[in-house]
Amino acid sequence: MALRYDFDMGVVTPEGLPDAFGDLDVTGVRAERLAMFRDPETVAALKQADPAVQNFFLDSGFALQTFDSGAPPDRFPKRDEAARIAVIERLSKNLGQHPLAGADWGGFDFPSFMRSLGQSKVLEDDALLAPANRGAQADREIAAAYAASQRMRGRRRIAMAGLLIGLILLLYVASQMLP
């Protein structure tokens, strides 16, 4: 079975603090937003990968745990758009910083991950439902809401994300060619 590379931005509080620790304005401590794959098998594959691969993802803003926002496949919540772009930028920056040539990826297929990034589209937050509550009618409503949102919003960020994905893919191919 092929791995699914959809991911969402989850909130993780600093280690040792309760999840509902408090407000940044009051406590001075902020929860961190990290990218987390929805598919447990994808996370398991990364956990089997070489430490260099794991560190590449960790340093780029991923957590090796799962989180599901309720968005359908190839979609992500609009509220995550800026954070996703930041993660993609860190992936691009970190690609040349980690010794990935010849590394064992543990079944994680980086080119498939890159294709998944390129196919992902934004979804209005109010169109999200909890995965357990989603049915065929809800999926049609989500698709309709997505289509309406795409007609209304600009393409600048999506174009930027596409450019960054292309850059990451080029850097990945170049890193695989190094001895």
What confidence tens digit (pLDDT) does each residue in 52-68 have? 999 999 999 999 989 88
**Tokens found for residue 146:** 């997505």
Q: Helix count (H) and strand count (E) of the chain?
A: 7, 4
Kind of pairing between the strands at 7-12 and 32-37: antiparallel
Q: For residue 159, what pLDDT is reported?
A: 57
Do residues 78 and 158 lie in contact, with contact meaning Cβ atoms separated by under 8 Å? Answer: no
Residue type, 52: A
Domain membership of residue 140 as a residue range: 7-15+29-177
Query: Would residue 23 count as lying in a domain?
Result: no
Question: Is 21 within a domain?
Answer: no
Helix or strand or coil: residue 11? strand
**Residue 38: both structure tokens together:** 């929805």
Looking at residue 72, the DSSP 8-state letter turns out to be P
- Whether residue 2 lies inside any domain: the answer is no
pLDDT at position 40 over 90: yes
Mean pLDDT in the chain?
77
Q: Are 37 and 43 in contact (CB under 8 A)?
A: yes
Query: Going by C-beta distance under 8 Å and a sequence separation of 6 or more, which residues neighbour residue 123?
Result: 71, 72, 75, 76, 77, 78, 142, 145, 146, 149
140 assigned to some structural domain: yes
Residue 141 falls inside a structural domain:
yes
Q: For residue 26, what pLDDT band results from cuts at 50, 70 and 90?
A: very low
Return d(Cα 174, Cα 20) in angstroms, integer.
43
Query: Tens digit of pLDDT for each residue in 84-138?
Result: 999 999 998 998 888 998 899 999 999 999 999 889 998 886 666 555 444 555 5
Predicted pLDDT of residue 60: 92
Q: What is the pTM of this model?
A: 0.66
- Phi, then psi, of 93 in degrees rounded to 5: -65, -40
How many domains is the chain built from?
A: 1
Residue 22 lies in a domain: no
In a domain? residue 20: no
